[in-house]
Amino acid sequence: MSMPMSSIAKPTAALSDYAVELARYAREIAELEPPGADRGRQHRLVYKRYQQASLRGDYAALASVDQTLRGLISAERPDPDLCYLKANLDFKFHRLEGVLRTLQACPDLRDSTPGQALMADLHLQQGRHDEAERLYREVLAQDPTWDNLARLAHLAFKCGEDEVAERYFDDAEDELTVKEMRHYAWLQLQRGVLDLKRGHLQAAREHYDRANRAYTGYWLVAEHRAELLAALGECDEARALYETVLAEVPRPELQQAMGELCAYMGNDAEAELWFGRALDAYLSSAAQGEVHYLHHLADFYADVREDGAQALHWAGADLALRQNPATLAAWAWALYRAGRAGEALVPMQRALDSREVDAHTLERAAVVFQAAGSAEAGQRLAQQAHGLNPHARGFHVHR
């Protein structure tokens, strides 16, 4: 791009960019309803509803879109565009087998670059980093779009290749136009996450502030800023921001984050109120057969309740769906919470032996190895965690 997008002057408006975009989706949806028997209108309507629900982070609305798609997709002649939406929905709900089934049922999607990108995402979720990288590079060679560049940036970051990640993020930003401010904000958000996880708190703040200026009013940016404010010790400001976000998006993981902030601030009674709301929602989701909150349940029982048996139950359920460094480390941490540190060594070592590098995993590994009697290894892992992120023991949110 010829000039930094964050430097572009934006007119003062009563509504935020986020509110304006939501209003546009509402108008477009109203114009398409009711679609009747017109399949073209049906397809456009379900796509707009998907976009609206995704922007709002509304899982209930996404579940409704999912039901509509099931009725629209023909088993005999599956439409690639509808199947692409379905596969993305399955990803949002962590239904990895559903993603694979959709790709296999629609060869036109499977063999396309978007389909191959989804397959690479699947490899990454299953801990197959080399396969993911190979496929990401093939996709990028055919379709060098900003989102495909961002995929490689994300992989490089997870593997500790920060300079490589930054270069890919630079290239991704260069592919955007001045009309794609939400995408630019999302990229700035990812760069802020990279800095936050490496302990560069002020650099993260700069990226988050750019994201907020580029696309105003977005709850996703706000909740990341709230986490950063808490990590910086600006807890009252963080709490106020979380309250604003929760009024817009009352998701349980955000309620848990608010509870953890209240506990961090010493407000244990209020923390319990938020924790209770989060746990009720997590368990309600799991009771309906949903799996996207399994890792949150494992984390909740391991670190909020410190209930090893329950942590093992939920971490095991998540590990059965996908074996990657995060789920292996969560399983090891649950074993430790259950008083079985010796058994935790093998899955934790598997997580450490992967290509991924994460300070919080190293911190947990240090505790596990020390509890299992390997004091020297535990000390070495704690030093590695501190070297990667000196603020790893500060406030942070499970994602």
Tell me the domain boundaries of the chain.
310-399
Q: How far apart are CA 86 and CA 84, in angstroms?
A: 5
What is the three-class DSSP state of 74?
A: coil
Residue 310 Cα distances to 71, 268, 324, 363, angstroms: 37, 22, 20, 22
Q: How far apart are CA 305 and CA 109, in angstroms?
A: 44
Residue 356 Cα distances to 91, 107, 215, 303, angstroms: 21, 32, 31, 22
CB atoms within 10 A of CB 276: 12
Q: How far apart are CA 173 and CA 73, in angstroms?
A: 34
Which among 295, 297, 303, 293 has a CA at the least distance from the CA of 263? 303
pLDDT of residue 14: 74
With a threshold of 0.85, does the pTM exceed it? Answer: yes
pLDDT of residue 3: 38
pLDDT of residue 12: 47
pLDDT of residue 1: 46
Q: How far apart are CA 32 and CA 28, in angstroms?
A: 6
Fold of 310-399: 1.25.40
pLDDT of residue 75: 86
Q: How far apart are CA 75 and CA 60, in angstroms?
A: 25
Q: How far apart are CA 213 and CA 237, in angstroms?
A: 18
Q: How is residue 182 written in tokens?
A: 């939400």
pLDDT of residue 399: 87
Could you give the residue ranges of the DSSP H alpha helices within 215-340? 219-231, 235-248, 252-264, 268-287, 294-299, 308-321, 325-337
pLDDT of residue 279: 98
CB atoms within 10 A of CB 161: 17
pLDDT of residue 220: 98
Are the C-beta atoms of residues 39 and 49 closer than 8 Å to each other?
Answer: no
Q: How is residue 178 written in tokens?
A: 């001045």
Q: Which residue has the tokens 């976000």?
A: 245
For 248-267, letters b (16+ CB in 10 Å) and e give bbebbbbbbbbbbbbbebeb
Q: How far apart are CA 334 and CA 309, in angstroms?
A: 8
Q: How is residue 40 written in tokens?
A: 């073209």
End-to-end CA distance of the chain: 32
Per-residue pLDDT of the chain (399 residues; tens, 9 = 90+): 433 444 444 444 579 999 999 999 999 999 999 989 899 999 999 999 999 999 999 999 999 999 999 999 998 899 999 999 999 999 999 999 999 999 999 999 999 999 999 999 999 999 999 999 999 999 999 999 999 999 999 999 999 999 999 999 999 999 999 899 999 999 999 999 999 999 999 999 999 999 999 999 999 999 999 999 999 999 999 999 999 999 999 999 999 999 999 999 999 999 999 999 999 999 999 999 999 999 999 999 999 999 999 999 999 999 999 999 999 999 999 999 999 999 999 999 999 999 999 999 999 999 999 999 999 999 999 999 999 999 999 999 998
